[in-house]
Structure 1
Protein backbone atom coordinates (compact mmCIF):
# COMPACT_ATOMS: atom_id res chain seq x y z
CA UNK A 1 0.00 0.00 0.00
CA UNK A 2 3.07 2.25 0.15
CA UNK A 3 2.47 3.52 -3.38
CA UNK A 4 -0.93 4.95 -2.29
CA UNK A 5 0.20 7.16 0.58
CA UNK A 6 2.26 9.68 -1.36
CA UNK A 7 2.26 13.44 -1.54
CA UNK A 8 4.26 16.62 -1.79
CA UNK A 9 7.27 16.60 0.53
CA UNK A 10 7.89 20.16 1.73
CA UNK A 11 10.07 19.08 4.63
CA UNK A 12 10.42 16.58 7.45
CA UNK A 13 9.83 18.99 10.33
CA UNK A 14 6.41 18.83 11.99
CA UNK A 15 5.27 22.16 10.57
CA UNK A 16 5.61 20.78 7.03
CA UNK A 17 3.82 17.49 7.60
CA UNK A 18 1.10 16.16 5.36
CA UNK A 19 -1.03 13.11 6.07
CA UNK A 20 1.10 10.71 4.02
CA UNK A 21 4.03 11.47 6.36
CA UNK A 22 2.03 10.50 9.46
CA UNK A 23 0.32 7.30 8.29
CA UNK A 24 1.52 4.00 9.66
CA UNK A 25 0.40 0.83 7.95
CA UNK A 26 -0.47 -1.65 10.68
CA UNK A 27 -1.93 -5.11 11.28
CA UNK A 28 -1.59 -5.47 15.06
CA UNK A 29 -4.47 -3.99 17.04
CA UNK A 30 -2.41 -4.10 20.23
CA UNK A 31 -0.38 -1.16 18.91
CA UNK A 32 -3.36 1.23 18.93
CA UNK A 33 -3.08 4.09 21.42
CA UNK A 34 -5.94 6.23 22.75
CA UNK A 35 -6.92 9.03 20.37
CA UNK A 36 -5.30 7.34 17.35
CA UNK A 37 -7.38 7.54 14.19
CA UNK A 38 -7.65 3.99 12.87
CA UNK A 39 -8.54 3.43 9.24
CA UNK A 40 -10.11 0.46 7.45
CA UNK A 41 -11.12 0.30 3.83
CA UNK A 42 -14.42 -1.48 3.18
CA UNK A 43 -13.76 -2.53 -0.41
CA UNK A 44 -17.19 -4.08 -0.81
CA UNK A 45 -20.23 -3.38 -2.97
CA UNK A 46 -22.01 -6.73 -2.75
CA UNK A 47 -24.81 -4.88 -0.93
CA UNK A 48 -25.10 -2.41 -3.79
CA UNK A 49 -25.40 -5.29 -6.23
CA UNK A 50 -28.15 -6.86 -4.12
CA UNK A 51 -29.89 -3.48 -3.93
CA UNK A 52 -29.84 -3.11 -7.72
CA UNK A 53 -27.49 -0.11 -7.63
CA UNK A 54 -24.55 0.79 -9.86
CA UNK A 55 -21.59 -1.35 -8.81
CA UNK A 56 -18.07 -0.02 -8.47
CA UNK A 57 -17.93 1.34 -4.90
CA UNK A 58 -15.58 -1.48 -3.88
CA UNK A 59 -12.83 0.32 -5.82
CA UNK A 60 -13.14 3.53 -3.81
CA UNK A 61 -11.09 3.07 -0.60
CA UNK A 62 -7.61 3.22 -2.17
CA UNK A 63 -8.55 6.16 -4.39
CA UNK A 64 -9.91 8.05 -1.36
CA UNK A 65 -6.66 7.28 0.48
CA UNK A 66 -4.66 8.75 -2.38
CA UNK A 67 -6.76 11.92 -2.25
CA UNK A 68 -6.31 12.18 1.53
CA UNK A 69 -2.53 11.84 1.34
CA UNK A 70 -1.62 15.43 0.58
CA UNK A 71 -3.80 17.19 3.16
CA UNK A 72 -1.72 19.16 5.69
CA UNK A 73 -1.57 17.91 9.26
CA UNK A 74 -3.10 20.51 11.58
CA UNK A 75 -2.95 18.80 14.97
CA UNK A 76 0.57 18.16 16.33
CA UNK A 77 -0.58 14.93 18.02
CA UNK A 78 -2.23 13.55 14.87
CA UNK A 79 -1.73 9.82 14.35
CA UNK A 80 -3.32 7.63 11.65
CA UNK A 81 -3.00 3.84 11.56
CA UNK A 82 -4.10 2.13 8.34
CA UNK A 83 -5.22 -1.50 8.68
CA UNK A 84 -5.85 -2.03 4.97
CA UNK A 85 -8.98 -3.23 3.20
CA UNK A 86 -11.73 -5.67 4.04
CA UNK A 87 -13.10 -7.42 0.96
CA UNK A 88 -15.99 -9.73 0.07
CA UNK A 89 -14.65 -12.03 -2.62
CA UNK A 90 -17.10 -14.86 -1.93
CA UNK A 91 -20.30 -12.78 -1.96
CA UNK A 92 -20.95 -13.52 1.72
CA UNK A 93 -21.86 -10.00 2.79
CA UNK A 94 -23.17 -11.06 6.20
CA UNK A 95 -19.81 -12.61 7.11
CA UNK A 96 -17.96 -9.55 5.80
CA UNK A 97 -20.06 -7.21 7.96
CA UNK A 98 -19.26 -9.38 10.99
CA UNK A 99 -15.54 -9.28 10.16
CA UNK A 100 -15.65 -5.49 10.00
CA UNK A 101 -17.51 -5.37 13.33
CA UNK A 102 -14.86 -7.50 15.04
CA UNK A 103 -12.08 -5.22 13.84
CA UNK A 104 -13.93 -2.05 14.80
CA UNK A 105 -14.61 -3.32 18.32
CA UNK A 106 -10.88 -3.95 18.80
CA UNK A 107 -10.16 -0.37 17.74
CA UNK A 108 -12.70 1.16 20.10
CA UNK A 109 -11.70 -0.95 23.10
CA UNK A 110 -8.15 0.37 22.64
CA UNK A 111 -9.45 3.95 22.69
CA UNK A 112 -8.97 4.57 18.98
CA UNK A 113 -11.28 6.52 16.70
CA UNK A 114 -12.65 4.47 13.82
CA UNK A 115 -12.64 5.70 10.22
CA UNK A 116 -13.96 3.47 7.44
CA UNK A 117 -13.76 4.25 3.73
CA UNK A 118 -16.52 2.53 1.74
CA UNK A 119 -17.60 0.74 -0.25
CA UNK A 120 -21.34 0.52 -0.35
CA UNK A 121 -23.60 1.69 2.44
CA UNK A 122 -23.81 -1.89 3.68
CA UNK A 123 -20.83 -0.67 5.72
CA UNK A 124 -23.36 0.87 8.13
CA UNK A 125 -24.49 -2.29 9.84
CA UNK A 126 -20.96 -3.66 10.22
CA UNK A 127 -19.62 -0.39 11.61
CA UNK A 128 -22.53 -0.01 14.04
CA UNK A 129 -22.19 -3.63 15.14
CA UNK A 130 -18.55 -2.93 15.98
CA UNK A 131 -19.60 -0.14 18.34
CA UNK A 132 -22.33 -2.27 19.90
CA UNK A 133 -19.90 -5.16 20.38
CA UNK A 134 -17.42 -2.88 22.15
CA UNK A 135 -20.05 -1.10 24.25
CA UNK A 136 -23.05 -3.45 24.62
CA UNK A 137 -24.57 -1.57 27.57
CA UNK A 138 -24.23 1.92 26.12
CA UNK A 139 -26.64 3.90 23.95
CA UNK A 140 -25.15 4.27 20.48
CA UNK A 141 -26.44 7.27 18.52
CA UNK A 142 -26.23 7.34 14.75
CA UNK A 143 -26.31 10.34 12.45
CA UNK A 144 -26.89 9.30 8.86
CA UNK A 145 -26.25 12.04 6.31
CA UNK A 146 -28.08 10.50 3.39
CA UNK A 147 -30.83 11.00 0.83
CA UNK A 148 -32.23 7.59 1.81
CA UNK A 149 -33.40 5.97 5.04
CA UNK A 150 -31.77 2.62 4.15
CA UNK A 151 -34.39 0.89 6.28
CA UNK A 152 -35.71 -1.61 3.75
CA UNK A 153 -36.67 -5.05 4.92
CA UNK A 154 -34.44 -7.64 3.22
CA UNK A 155 -35.99 -9.29 0.17
CA UNK A 156 -36.58 -13.02 0.29
CA UNK A 157 -33.81 -14.81 -1.53
CA UNK A 158 -31.66 -11.67 -1.68
CA UNK A 159 -30.71 -10.98 1.92
CA UNK A 160 -29.33 -7.82 3.45
CA UNK A 161 -28.07 -5.07 1.17
CA UNK A 162 -26.86 -1.48 1.05
CA UNK A 163 -30.46 -0.44 1.65
CA UNK A 164 -31.21 -2.51 4.76
CA UNK A 165 -28.66 -1.25 7.29
CA UNK A 166 -31.03 0.65 9.54
CA UNK A 167 -33.65 -2.10 9.43
CA UNK A 168 -30.91 -4.47 10.61
CA UNK A 169 -29.90 -2.10 13.40
CA UNK A 170 -33.52 -1.73 14.50
CA UNK A 171 -33.73 -5.51 14.95
CA UNK A 172 -31.00 -5.25 17.62
CA UNK A 173 -33.25 -3.17 19.88
CA UNK A 174 -34.20 0.49 20.29
CA UNK A 175 -32.59 2.64 17.62
CA UNK A 176 -31.29 6.16 18.25
CA UNK A 177 -30.81 7.72 14.82
CA UNK A 178 -31.09 11.06 13.06
CA UNK A 179 -31.15 11.03 9.26
CA UNK A 180 -30.11 14.32 7.65
CA UNK A 181 -30.75 15.15 3.99
CA UNK A 182 -33.67 12.81 3.38
CA UNK A 183 -35.27 13.29 -0.04
CA UNK A 184 -39.01 12.91 -0.51
CA UNK A 185 -38.49 11.71 -4.07
CA UNK A 186 -36.04 9.00 -3.01
CA UNK A 187 -38.08 7.20 -0.33
CA UNK A 188 -41.45 5.49 -0.66
CA UNK A 189 -44.22 6.03 1.87
CA UNK A 190 -43.37 2.56 3.20
CA UNK A 191 -39.85 3.71 4.07
CA UNK A 192 -41.17 6.84 5.80
CA UNK A 193 -43.65 4.66 7.67
CA UNK A 194 -40.88 2.29 8.75
CA UNK A 195 -38.85 5.25 10.00
CA UNK A 196 -41.81 6.43 12.08
CA UNK A 197 -42.49 2.95 13.45
CA UNK A 198 -38.91 2.54 14.65
CA UNK A 199 -38.58 6.11 15.93
CA UNK A 200 -35.98 7.18 13.38
CA UNK A 201 -35.77 10.97 13.45
CA UNK A 202 -35.04 12.84 10.24
CA UNK A 203 -34.38 16.22 8.68
CA UNK A 204 -35.46 16.63 5.08
CA UNK A 205 -33.04 18.02 2.51
CA UNK A 206 -35.53 20.88 2.02
CA UNK A 207 -34.96 21.93 5.64
CA UNK A 208 -31.21 22.43 5.19
CA UNK A 209 -30.93 26.17 4.62
CA UNK A 210 -28.97 28.78 6.55
CA UNK A 211 -31.89 30.46 8.30
CA UNK A 212 -32.99 27.08 9.65
CA UNK A 213 -29.63 26.19 11.22
CA UNK A 214 -30.86 26.82 14.81
CA UNK A 215 -33.48 24.11 14.36
CA UNK A 216 -30.95 21.74 12.76
CA UNK A 217 -28.52 22.32 15.64
CA UNK A 218 -31.25 21.67 18.19
CA UNK A 219 -32.23 18.37 16.65
CA UNK A 220 -28.61 17.26 16.49
CA UNK A 221 -28.12 18.29 20.12
CA UNK A 222 -31.26 16.43 21.17
CA UNK A 223 -29.75 13.22 19.79
CA UNK A 224 -26.33 13.89 21.30
CA UNK A 225 -27.83 14.53 24.72
CA UNK A 226 -29.72 11.24 24.64
CA UNK A 227 -26.84 8.86 23.80
CA UNK A 228 -23.49 7.77 25.22
CA UNK A 229 -21.53 7.47 21.97
CA UNK A 230 -22.00 8.65 18.39
CA UNK A 231 -21.42 7.06 15.01
CA UNK A 232 -21.57 9.29 11.89
CA UNK A 233 -22.14 7.76 8.46
CA UNK A 234 -22.17 9.76 5.24
CA UNK A 235 -23.69 8.41 2.05
CA UNK A 236 -22.22 10.47 -0.75
CA UNK A 237 -25.43 10.25 -2.78
CA UNK A 238 -26.89 12.87 -0.44
CA UNK A 239 -24.96 15.49 -2.43
CA UNK A 240 -25.95 17.15 -5.67
CA UNK A 241 -24.81 15.27 -8.76
CA UNK A 242 -22.76 18.27 -9.87
CA UNK A 243 -20.38 17.90 -6.92
CA UNK A 244 -20.82 14.14 -6.37
CA UNK A 245 -21.44 12.46 -9.74
CA UNK A 246 -19.57 9.29 -8.78
CA UNK A 247 -22.12 7.49 -6.62
CA UNK A 248 -24.31 4.42 -6.87
CA UNK A 249 -27.53 6.48 -7.13
CA UNK A 250 -26.99 10.12 -8.12
CA UNK A 251 -29.24 12.93 -6.84
CA UNK A 252 -29.82 15.85 -9.17
CA UNK A 253 -31.50 17.86 -6.41
CA UNK A 254 -29.12 16.75 -3.66
CA UNK A 255 -27.59 19.06 -1.07
CA UNK A 256 -24.33 21.02 -1.43
CA UNK A 257 -21.26 21.08 0.79
CA UNK A 258 -21.89 24.78 1.34
CA UNK A 259 -21.64 27.02 4.42
CA UNK A 260 -24.89 25.67 5.85
CA UNK A 261 -23.71 22.08 5.53
CA UNK A 262 -20.25 22.79 6.93
CA UNK A 263 -21.72 24.59 9.96
CA UNK A 264 -23.77 21.65 11.17
CA UNK A 265 -21.25 19.06 9.94
CA UNK A 266 -18.42 20.55 12.00
CA UNK A 267 -20.79 20.85 14.94
CA UNK A 268 -21.25 17.08 14.81
CA UNK A 269 -17.51 16.47 14.46
CA UNK A 270 -16.78 18.54 17.57
CA UNK A 271 -18.80 16.22 19.79
CA UNK A 272 -16.58 14.28 22.19
CA UNK A 273 -19.08 11.43 21.88
CA UNK A 274 -18.14 10.83 18.24
CA UNK A 275 -16.15 7.59 18.01
CA UNK A 276 -16.68 6.44 14.44
CA UNK A 277 -17.14 7.91 10.97
CA UNK A 278 -17.46 6.45 7.51
CA UNK A 279 -18.09 7.61 3.95
CA UNK A 280 -20.00 5.32 1.62
CA UNK A 281 -21.21 4.87 -1.95
CA UNK A 282 -18.30 6.58 -3.70
CA UNK A 283 -18.22 4.96 -7.15
CA UNK A 284 -15.04 5.90 -9.06
CA UNK A 285 -16.35 4.42 -12.32
CA UNK A 286 -18.90 7.22 -12.62
CA UNK A 287 -16.86 10.03 -11.08
CA UNK A 288 -15.82 13.15 -12.99
CA UNK A 289 -12.39 14.67 -12.27
CA UNK A 290 -12.47 12.74 -8.97
CA UNK A 291 -14.97 15.28 -7.56
CA UNK A 292 -16.80 12.73 -5.42
CA UNK A 293 -13.60 11.09 -4.20
CA UNK A 294 -12.10 14.45 -3.31
CA UNK A 295 -15.22 15.51 -1.44
CA UNK A 296 -15.28 12.25 0.53
CA UNK A 297 -11.61 12.64 1.41
CA UNK A 298 -12.19 16.23 2.54
CA UNK A 299 -15.12 15.24 4.77
CA UNK A 300 -12.94 12.68 6.54
CA UNK A 301 -10.11 15.17 6.85
CA UNK A 302 -12.43 17.63 8.58
CA UNK A 303 -12.53 15.23 11.54
CA UNK A 304 -8.73 15.05 11.57
CA UNK A 305 -8.58 18.84 11.94
CA UNK A 306 -11.05 19.25 14.81
Structure 2
Protein backbone atom coordinates (compact mmCIF):
# COMPACT_ATOMS: atom_id res chain seq x y z
CA UNK A 1 0.00 0.00 0.00
CA UNK A 2 1.04 3.61 -0.51
CA UNK A 3 0.95 6.51 1.90
CA UNK A 4 0.12 6.78 4.73
CA UNK A 5 0.50 3.16 5.80
CA UNK A 6 4.27 2.56 5.58
CA UNK A 7 5.03 5.32 8.09
CA UNK A 8 2.01 5.15 10.35
CA UNK A 9 0.20 2.79 12.65
CA UNK A 10 -3.57 2.91 12.42
CA UNK A 11 -5.38 4.75 15.21
CA UNK A 12 -5.91 2.47 18.19
CA UNK A 13 -9.35 4.00 18.66
CA UNK A 14 -11.95 4.13 15.92
CA UNK A 15 -15.44 5.55 16.08
CA UNK A 16 -18.64 5.45 14.10
CA UNK A 17 -19.04 8.63 12.07
CA UNK A 18 -22.26 10.57 12.71
CA UNK A 19 -23.77 11.92 9.50
CA UNK A 20 -27.05 13.25 10.88
CA UNK A 21 -26.33 16.99 10.99
CA UNK A 22 -29.64 17.68 12.79
CA UNK A 23 -28.37 16.29 16.10
CA UNK A 24 -25.55 17.23 18.42
CA UNK A 25 -22.38 15.76 16.92
CA UNK A 26 -19.54 14.83 19.23
CA UNK A 27 -15.94 15.24 18.15
CA UNK A 28 -15.30 11.49 18.05
CA UNK A 29 -18.30 11.12 15.71
CA UNK A 30 -16.98 13.88 13.45
CA UNK A 31 -13.32 12.93 13.02
CA UNK A 32 -12.96 10.07 10.56
CA UNK A 33 -10.27 7.39 10.60
CA UNK A 34 -8.26 5.98 7.72
CA UNK A 35 -9.97 2.97 6.21
CA UNK A 36 -8.74 0.24 3.90
CA UNK A 37 -8.31 2.67 1.02
CA UNK A 38 -6.62 6.04 0.82
CA UNK A 39 -9.29 8.78 0.77
CA UNK A 40 -9.68 11.49 -1.83
CA UNK A 41 -7.42 14.07 -0.23
CA UNK A 42 -9.10 16.88 -2.17
CA UNK A 43 -12.11 16.50 0.12
CA UNK A 44 -10.07 16.59 3.35
CA UNK A 45 -9.57 19.83 5.31
CA UNK A 46 -7.77 18.63 8.43
CA UNK A 47 -5.38 15.73 9.04
CA UNK A 48 -4.61 14.70 12.61
CA UNK A 49 -1.48 12.79 13.58
CA UNK A 50 -0.31 11.22 16.82
CA UNK A 51 3.37 11.10 17.77
CA UNK A 52 3.62 9.00 20.96
CA UNK A 53 7.26 9.74 21.79
CA UNK A 54 8.58 10.74 25.22
CA UNK A 55 11.83 8.76 25.48
CA UNK A 56 13.58 11.96 24.37
CA UNK A 57 12.22 13.96 27.30
CA UNK A 58 14.72 15.45 29.77
CA UNK A 59 12.44 14.77 32.72
CA UNK A 60 10.47 11.59 33.34
CA UNK A 61 7.39 11.75 31.17
CA UNK A 62 4.60 9.58 29.84
CA UNK A 63 3.73 12.14 27.15
CA UNK A 64 3.79 9.18 24.77
CA UNK A 65 0.34 8.32 26.12
CA UNK A 66 -1.11 11.74 25.29
CA UNK A 67 -2.30 11.11 21.71
CA UNK A 68 -4.58 8.28 22.77
CA UNK A 69 -5.61 10.14 25.93
CA UNK A 70 -6.74 13.04 23.75
CA UNK A 71 -8.62 10.67 21.44
CA UNK A 72 -10.43 9.17 24.44
CA UNK A 73 -11.65 12.62 25.51
CA UNK A 74 -13.00 13.58 22.08
CA UNK A 75 -16.35 12.11 23.09
CA UNK A 76 -16.65 14.76 25.82
CA UNK A 77 -16.76 17.62 23.29
CA UNK A 78 -19.31 18.66 20.72
CA UNK A 79 -18.31 20.16 17.37
CA UNK A 80 -20.27 23.39 17.94
CA UNK A 81 -18.38 26.28 19.53
CA UNK A 82 -20.94 28.53 21.19
CA UNK A 83 -18.40 31.30 21.86
CA UNK A 84 -17.70 31.80 18.15
CA UNK A 85 -20.93 30.40 16.66
CA UNK A 86 -18.85 27.98 14.61
CA UNK A 87 -19.54 24.30 13.96
CA UNK A 88 -16.40 22.31 13.18
CA UNK A 89 -18.54 19.63 11.53
CA UNK A 90 -18.39 21.79 8.40
CA UNK A 91 -14.77 20.64 8.07
CA UNK A 92 -13.72 17.15 6.96
CA UNK A 93 -11.14 15.86 9.43
CA UNK A 94 -9.28 12.54 9.34
CA UNK A 95 -7.20 10.86 12.05
CA UNK A 96 -4.18 9.37 10.29
CA UNK A 97 -3.00 7.36 13.30
CA UNK A 98 0.43 7.40 14.95
CA UNK A 99 3.95 7.67 13.61
CA UNK A 100 5.67 4.31 14.00
CA UNK A 101 7.92 4.19 17.07
CA UNK A 102 11.15 2.23 17.39
CA UNK A 103 11.32 0.50 20.76
CA UNK A 104 14.82 1.75 21.64
CA UNK A 105 16.18 3.86 18.77
CA UNK A 106 15.08 7.49 19.30
CA UNK A 107 16.99 8.67 16.23
CA UNK A 108 15.05 6.24 14.04
CA UNK A 109 11.76 7.43 15.50
CA UNK A 110 12.81 11.03 14.82
CA UNK A 111 13.52 10.09 11.21
CA UNK A 112 10.09 8.47 10.98
CA UNK A 113 8.48 11.70 12.21
CA UNK A 114 10.33 13.81 9.66
CA UNK A 115 9.49 11.43 6.82
CA UNK A 116 5.84 11.38 7.86
CA UNK A 117 5.62 15.17 7.57
CA UNK A 118 7.37 15.11 4.19
CA UNK A 119 4.86 12.57 2.91
CA UNK A 120 1.85 14.42 4.31
CA UNK A 121 2.85 17.75 2.79
CA UNK A 122 3.59 16.14 -0.58
CA UNK A 123 0.42 14.06 -0.78
CA UNK A 124 -2.04 16.64 0.59
CA UNK A 125 -0.27 20.01 1.03
CA UNK A 126 -3.57 21.88 1.39
CA UNK A 127 -4.74 20.13 4.56
CA UNK A 128 -4.24 21.66 7.99
CA UNK A 129 -1.86 19.33 9.81
CA UNK A 130 -2.53 18.95 13.55
CA UNK A 131 -0.11 16.81 15.58
CA UNK A 132 -0.73 15.43 19.05
CA UNK A 133 2.57 14.80 20.88
CA UNK A 134 4.64 13.47 22.45
CA UNK A 135 7.43 15.60 23.88
CA UNK A 136 8.74 18.79 22.32
CA UNK A 137 11.60 17.10 20.48
CA UNK A 138 9.08 16.12 17.80
CA UNK A 139 8.62 19.74 16.71
CA UNK A 140 12.10 19.94 15.20
CA UNK A 141 11.46 16.79 13.17
CA UNK A 142 8.05 17.96 11.96
CA UNK A 143 9.36 21.37 10.89
CA UNK A 144 12.42 19.81 9.24
CA UNK A 145 10.01 17.63 7.27
CA UNK A 146 7.94 20.67 6.37
CA UNK A 147 11.07 22.41 5.10
CA UNK A 148 12.12 19.37 3.03
CA UNK A 149 8.69 19.20 1.43
CA UNK A 150 8.80 22.92 0.63
CA UNK A 151 12.51 23.81 0.37
CA UNK A 152 11.85 27.19 -1.25
CA UNK A 153 9.50 28.38 1.48
CA UNK A 154 10.60 30.39 4.51
CA UNK A 155 9.18 28.98 7.74
CA UNK A 156 8.40 30.95 10.88
CA UNK A 157 7.61 29.61 14.34
CA UNK A 158 4.95 30.83 16.75
CA UNK A 159 5.88 29.13 20.02
CA UNK A 160 3.71 29.18 23.15
CA UNK A 161 6.00 27.95 25.89
CA UNK A 162 7.36 28.49 29.38
CA UNK A 163 10.87 27.73 28.08
CA UNK A 164 13.17 28.89 25.30
CA UNK A 165 13.92 25.28 24.28
CA UNK A 166 17.32 26.45 23.09
CA UNK A 167 19.50 24.08 25.09
CA UNK A 168 22.76 22.91 23.57
CA UNK A 169 22.40 19.74 21.52
CA UNK A 170 25.98 18.77 22.31
CA UNK A 171 24.93 18.42 25.94
CA UNK A 172 21.64 16.51 25.70
CA UNK A 173 21.05 15.76 22.03
CA UNK A 174 17.73 16.25 20.20
CA UNK A 175 15.53 16.27 23.30
CA UNK A 176 12.45 18.18 24.43
CA UNK A 177 14.65 21.07 25.61
CA UNK A 178 16.37 21.59 22.25
CA UNK A 179 13.84 21.73 19.36
CA UNK A 180 14.22 25.42 18.48
CA UNK A 181 18.01 25.29 18.64
CA UNK A 182 17.87 22.11 16.58
CA UNK A 183 15.92 23.94 13.89
CA UNK A 184 18.26 26.93 13.96
CA UNK A 185 21.32 24.71 13.58
CA UNK A 186 19.72 22.64 10.82
CA UNK A 187 18.99 25.81 8.87
CA UNK A 188 15.27 25.09 8.63
CA UNK A 189 14.46 28.41 10.31
CA UNK A 190 16.13 31.71 11.20
CA UNK A 191 16.20 33.15 14.69
CA UNK A 192 14.36 36.32 13.75
CA UNK A 193 11.50 34.16 12.45
CA UNK A 194 10.81 32.69 15.91
CA UNK A 195 8.29 34.32 18.25
CA UNK A 196 8.11 32.69 21.68
CA UNK A 197 5.32 33.84 23.99
CA UNK A 198 4.80 32.78 27.60
CA UNK A 199 8.27 32.55 29.16
CA UNK A 200 8.42 33.53 32.81
CA UNK A 201 9.94 33.19 36.23
CA UNK A 202 12.93 31.14 37.25
CA UNK A 203 12.76 28.49 34.56
CA UNK A 204 15.19 29.72 31.88
CA UNK A 205 18.94 30.05 32.25
CA UNK A 206 20.57 33.41 31.49
CA UNK A 207 22.80 31.75 28.89
CA UNK A 208 19.69 30.69 26.94
CA UNK A 209 18.38 34.26 26.93
CA UNK A 210 21.78 35.41 25.69
CA UNK A 211 21.71 32.79 22.92
CA UNK A 212 18.18 33.88 21.96
CA UNK A 213 19.38 37.48 21.73
CA UNK A 214 22.38 36.47 19.61
CA UNK A 215 20.11 34.58 17.20
CA UNK A 216 17.54 37.35 17.02
CA UNK A 217 14.74 35.26 18.53
CA UNK A 218 11.68 37.32 19.47
CA UNK A 219 10.24 36.53 22.88
CA UNK A 220 7.56 37.98 25.11
CA UNK A 221 7.41 37.01 28.77
CA UNK A 222 4.13 36.05 30.37
CA UNK A 223 4.23 39.24 32.45
CA UNK A 224 4.70 41.37 29.32
CA UNK A 225 2.02 39.46 27.41
CA UNK A 226 -0.54 39.87 30.17
CA UNK A 227 0.21 43.58 30.50
CA UNK A 228 -0.17 44.16 26.74
CA UNK A 229 -2.99 41.65 26.31
CA UNK A 230 -2.59 38.13 24.91
CA UNK A 231 -4.63 38.85 21.80
CA UNK A 232 -2.57 41.93 20.97
CA UNK A 233 0.72 40.08 21.44
CA UNK A 234 -0.35 37.09 19.32
CA UNK A 235 -1.73 39.32 16.58
CA UNK A 236 1.48 41.36 16.58
CA UNK A 237 3.67 38.27 16.28
CA UNK A 238 1.53 36.91 13.45
CA UNK A 239 1.68 40.22 11.60
CA UNK A 240 5.48 40.38 11.89
CA UNK A 241 5.81 36.81 10.68
CA UNK A 242 3.35 37.50 7.87
CA UNK A 243 5.74 40.11 6.49
CA UNK A 244 8.75 37.79 6.56
CA UNK A 245 7.79 34.14 6.00
CA UNK A 246 5.73 31.95 3.67
CA UNK A 247 4.56 29.44 6.28
CA UNK A 248 3.92 29.76 10.01
CA UNK A 249 4.16 26.71 12.25
CA UNK A 250 2.41 26.87 15.63
CA UNK A 251 3.84 24.82 18.48
CA UNK A 252 2.01 24.69 21.81
CA UNK A 253 3.96 23.33 24.76
CA UNK A 254 1.28 22.63 27.33
CA UNK A 255 3.66 23.66 30.12
CA UNK A 256 2.89 27.23 29.04
CA UNK A 257 -0.19 26.87 31.23
CA UNK A 258 -0.04 27.73 34.91
CA UNK A 259 0.40 24.63 37.08
CA UNK A 260 -3.06 25.23 38.59
CA UNK A 261 -4.55 24.98 35.09
CA UNK A 262 -2.37 22.10 33.97
CA UNK A 263 -0.76 19.87 36.61
CA UNK A 264 0.12 17.23 34.01
CA UNK A 265 2.94 18.94 32.14
CA UNK A 266 6.27 17.39 33.20
CA UNK A 267 7.64 20.94 33.64
CA UNK A 268 4.47 22.56 34.99
CA UNK A 269 5.18 25.82 36.84
CA UNK A 270 3.33 28.59 38.68
CA UNK A 271 2.96 31.93 36.94
CA UNK A 272 1.90 30.62 33.56
CA UNK A 273 -0.92 31.25 31.10
CA UNK A 274 -4.56 30.61 31.91
CA UNK A 275 -6.62 28.25 29.78
CA UNK A 276 -8.87 30.99 28.42
CA UNK A 277 -5.79 32.97 27.36
CA UNK A 278 -4.35 29.95 25.57
CA UNK A 279 -7.64 29.17 23.84
CA UNK A 280 -7.81 32.76 22.53
CA UNK A 281 -4.18 32.62 21.41
CA UNK A 282 -4.52 29.46 19.34
CA UNK A 283 -7.84 30.57 17.84
CA UNK A 284 -6.17 33.73 16.56
CA UNK A 285 -3.33 31.64 15.14
CA UNK A 286 -5.83 29.35 13.45
CA UNK A 287 -7.44 32.31 11.70
CA UNK A 288 -4.19 33.38 10.03
CA UNK A 289 -3.87 32.07 6.45
CA UNK A 290 -0.13 31.42 6.70
CA UNK A 291 -0.45 29.07 9.68
CA UNK A 292 -0.34 25.68 7.97
CA UNK A 293 0.49 23.22 10.76
CA UNK A 294 0.48 23.00 14.55
CA UNK A 295 1.40 20.64 17.36
CA UNK A 296 0.44 20.13 21.00
CA UNK A 297 3.25 18.68 23.11
CA UNK A 298 4.52 17.88 26.61
CA UNK A 299 1.48 16.57 28.42
CA UNK A 300 1.69 13.52 30.69
CA UNK A 301 -1.77 12.00 31.22
CA UNK A 302 -0.50 9.94 34.18
CA UNK A 303 0.00 13.18 36.11
CA UNK A 304 -3.41 14.58 35.23
CA UNK A 305 -6.01 15.46 37.84
CA UNK A 306 -9.60 14.78 36.92
CA UNK A 307 -8.77 14.91 33.23
CA UNK A 308 -8.35 18.69 33.33
CA UNK A 309 -5.08 18.77 31.39
CA UNK A 310 -6.05 16.35 28.63
CA UNK A 311 -9.39 18.12 28.19
CA UNK A 312 -7.52 21.42 27.99
CA UNK A 313 -5.31 19.97 25.25
CA UNK A 314 -8.36 18.87 23.25
CA UNK A 315 -9.87 22.33 23.80
CA UNK A 316 -6.65 23.83 22.41
CA UNK A 317 -6.95 21.68 19.29
CA UNK A 318 -10.62 22.55 18.79
CA UNK A 319 -10.04 26.26 19.49
CA UNK A 320 -7.29 26.31 16.87
CA UNK A 321 -9.59 24.57 14.37
CA UNK A 322 -12.31 27.08 15.21
CA UNK A 323 -9.94 29.78 13.99
CA UNK A 324 -9.15 27.73 10.89
CA UNK A 325 -12.85 27.27 10.22
CA UNK A 326 -13.34 31.07 10.34
CA UNK A 327 -10.83 31.78 7.56
**Given the two structures, how large is their TM-score scaled by the length of structure 2?**
0.84
1:24 is aligned, of 9, 32, 45, to 32
Indicate the residue corresponding to 1:15 in structure 2: 22
Contact 1:266 1:302 in 2 (8 A): yes
Tell me, which stretches of 5 or more residues in structure 2 are unaligned? 1-9, 80-86
Q: Distance in 1 between matches of 2:232 and 2:104?
A: 44
Q: What secondary structure sits across from 2:135 in the alignment? A: coil
Contact 1:6 1:69 in 2 (8 A): no
Q: What secondary structure sits across from 2:288 in the alignment? A: coil
Does 2:173 match 1:167? no
Q: Distance in 2 between matches of 1:186 and 1:164?
A: 15
Q: What secondary structure sits across from 1:186 in the alignment? A: coil
RMSD: 2.3
Q: Distance in 2 between matches of 1:12 and 1:250?
A: 40
1:80 is aligned, of 73, 93, 101, to 93
Contact 2:54 2:135 in 1 (8 A): yes
Indicate the residue corresponding to 2:210 in structure 1: 193
Does 2:284 match 1:267? yes
Deviation of 1:211 (Å): 4.6
Deviation of 1:99 (Å): 1.2
Q: Distance in 1 between matches of 2:227 and 2:208?
A: 27
Q: What does residue range 121-160 of structure 1 map to in structure 2 within 5 Å?
A: 121-156=136-171, 158-160=172-174
Tell me, which stretches of 5 or more residues in structure 1 are unaligned? none
Deviations 1:183-234 (A, max 9, x none): 2411101111111122211110111226545355323311222111111011
Deviations 1:57-111 (A, max 9, x none): 1111101111123432314531121121225343322222221122122222312
Q: Distance in 2 between matches of 1:250 and 1:215?
A: 22
2:200 is aligned, of 163, 183, 197, to 183
Deviations 1:131-184 (A, max 9, x none): 11111111111111000011111245x522111111110012224210010124
Indicate the residue corresponding to 1:282 in structure 2: 299
Indicate the residue corresponding to 2:4 in structure 1: none
Give the 3 Å change call, closer, same or farther, for CA 62–262 of structure 1 in structure 2.
closer
The more displaced of 12-21 and 200-209 is: 12-21
1:118 is aligned, of 110, 114, 133, to 133
